[in-house]
Amino acid sequence: MFDSLSQKAPQPGLEHDFGGSFARCFQPTNFRTTLQSYRERKSKSRPPASRPCIMLDVIRTIALTCLLSSICLGASNEKRPSYPSYDYEIARAHEIKPHRRTIPLKGVSPGFNQLRLTLTVSPMGDVVDAGAGGDREALKFWPQLQDEVRQWKFTPFEENGQAVTAEVEEYIDLVPPERLPMIHVAAPILRPTSKVAITLSRTGCFGSCPSYTVTVGTDGIVFAGGGYVVASGKHTDRVDANQLRNLAKRFVTADFYSMDSSYTASVTDNPAYTLSIVIDGHEKKVEDYVGSWVGMPAVITELENAVDTFAHTERWIDGSDGLVEALRGENFNFQSFEAQLMLKEAASRGSTETVRKLLKVGVPLEPLPAPKPDRPYVTSQLESVGWLNAASSHPEALQVLINAGASKNDQSDKDLALAGAARPGNVGTARALMDYGANPNADLSARAVTKGGGGIKTQRTRAGSVLIDAAESGNPEMVREILRYNPELEARDGQGRTAVFAAGEYRDGDKDGARVECLHLLAEAGADVNARDNEGNTPLHETFLTDVEEELLKLGADVNARNKDGETPIFTTVDDDAIPLFIEHGADLTIRNNKGETVMEAAKEKGPLREEAFRKAIQKLNQR
């Protein structure tokens, strides 16, 4: 199952909103999304909120409709100053309630109706500007919501200890009006001695949704962790029975026993939630599968989150404060293989204090063998990943591991962690790893680098070199740092791409001109701007960033280089602005590809917009 177009799964303690689940687990990673984001940025002359895209394009039809019709609305079309940008995950931590992200409105149809917001937040935490993007159907509700959004408050965003004006990425999910119970079912009487058991189950998804079941009963808490949690397996804690009965009162007050047994949307790949309560043997269960899309009362989501909050499930899921203390309370074996997996999972999430505590209670850093097949355990994608590689995206957790001597004699882990730090452009982390012995000239062509974001870790095989990762970061300082060590400039990844290719990629949050500077640094060092990948493409074939295309041409890129399909860059570009640019630099419009088509004939297959772009470019050329 799955979670969002800008995001990961709904986390415990957070709303089951599709600015939470769909907005976080369905993070746009496909090409169209990246291109759309870049075009919006160019049209507004301001950087969008920084968010690396890390999920697959899952709900394809919905996503395509949303992305191809995306429109950004703002207070003004004039150029605005660029501010430090913060992605959705960071913004959530700064929100001050009330802050609705799932909003029922009359006229909203069942299904995916999401607005992507770009907010300008003052140093005092006030929203001073708000723009919305989404499909036309969702955008028609934006005028009703602007005033509420402008009343939102945030704790100040800081740079170097100073509160700053910030650009913030947020989401609103529009859902149909609530489908309230038609028939009242009396709840059992809740007595001071009543036996109560409340169970919440969240399944996995096509993404990084944590899967687990937690039961809070008058006899204690039982957590059973599955995938994408720090503490997998069964874990327990004590409970205050009277406080649990107070939680049960919320169910009674909410008329939970009168709710429908199921609220199920017609969509796939999402997490399923099941919430049940038993009071003195009387049970009520509600299934929630993207229920907000079909009118599920919001109170059900509130009760789901209340169970997570009561049980403090975040300690087992994210490795937050309280995990080690709870493990001690159940006499957990900190000298075990499972404890080592917990340490890696906590490090991969940047749970620095938990990493520190786990080391303090004696989790060994020397690898232990996995349990034998006759002793089942929940496997982790980090089993074969080294300590440093697991923590490479989180400087503080990584430094704690370095200080503890983790992987002191494991050169491969050091090198892979360096690549993992270079990819997001963490210069300080990269320097710390090199001081620890990581090799900036390591050959990574046969190794797998762990990359993460939004709660998910993946293995990227045949990474090529640290320089490629540095160039992909779009951070000139990162590129400059690695170039100091005279790396192999033409090292290639699994697709045959060199660092020059990587410099031409795009990420939300790229600073204006930064990728051009990265490209210039590589060219100055002697990198080949006409390098070929496995398909015969040059960097000019691959990039869609107009400023990068201009720089490549200035640096001598061959505008008529042909790939294995016989196509020149003007055939393959998806940047309409590049068409006149390529023509001005001598693109030969008479060249035919392997199908025998000229670029004008091939343009017909790409639709009327592409044909129109060519028509205008040629018309402009003829007018000279």
Q: Which of 207, 120, 107 is nearest to 166 (CA)?
A: 120
How confident is the model at residue 381, as a pLDDT?
79
Same domain, 215 and 115: no
Specify the pLDDT at position 16: 37
**For position 451, what pLDDT does the model report?**
52
β-pairing, 282-289 vs 262-264, is parallel
Hey, how many other C-beta atoms are within 10 angstroms of the C-beta on 462?
15
Whether the CB-CB separation of 289 and 110 falls below 8 Å is answered with no
Same domain, 145 and 40: yes
Rg for the chain, CA atoms, rounded: 26
Whether residue 305 sits in one domain with residue 224: yes
Residue 424 located in a structural domain: no
C-beta atoms surrounding 605 within 10 Å: 10
Q: What is the pLDDT of residue 365?
A: 97
Count of domains forming the chain:
3
Q: Are 143 and 256 members of one domain? A: no
Residue 485 located in a structural domain: no
The secondary structure of the chain in percent helix, strand, coil, rounded to multiples of 5, reads 35, 15, 45
pLDDT tens digits for range 318-358: 999 999 999 999 999 999 999 999 999 999 999 999 999 99
pTM: 0.78
Range of the domain at 266: 196-314
Is residue 375 in some structural domain?
A: no
Contact call for residues 382 and 341 (beta carbons, < 8 A): yes
* pLDDT tens by residue, 140-162: 999 999 999 999 999 999 998 99
Residue ending a domain, choose from 267, 286, 314: 314
Is the domain of 100 the same as that of 211? no
Cis peptide before 143 (omega within 30 of 0): no
Query: Residue ranges of the chain with pLDDT lower than 70?
Result: 1-81, 373-379, 446-463, 624
Q: Do 77 and 124 fall into the same domain?
A: yes
* Sign of the CA dihedral running 412, 415, 419, 421: positive
> What's the token pair of residue 27?
């993070």
- 118 occurs within a structural domain: yes
Residue 81 belongs to a domain? yes
pLDDT at 604: 86
Whether residue 235 is found in the same domain as residue 144: no
Which token pair is 232?
């997998």
Given 314, 332, 366, which residue is the final one in a domain?
A: 314
Mapped onto helix, strand or coil, the DSSP state of residue 322 is coil
**E-only strand ranges, 147-299:** 153-154, 157-159, 162-164, 166-175, 196-202, 212-217, 220-225, 233-237, 262-264, 273-279, 282-289
> Count of CB atoms within 10 A of residue 287's CB?
17
Say how far apart CA 86 and CA 109 lie, in whole Å.
31
Write the CB contacts of 61 (distance below 8 Å, at least 6 apart in sequence): none
Cα(368)–Cα(340) distance, integer angstroms? 8
Whether 127 and 267 map to the same domain: the answer is no
* 200 within domain boundaries: yes
Q: Specify the CATH number for the domain of residue 597.
A: 1.25.40.20
Domain boundary residue, one of 285, 314, 343: 314
**132 found inside a domain:** yes
What's residue 373's pLDDT? Answer: 64
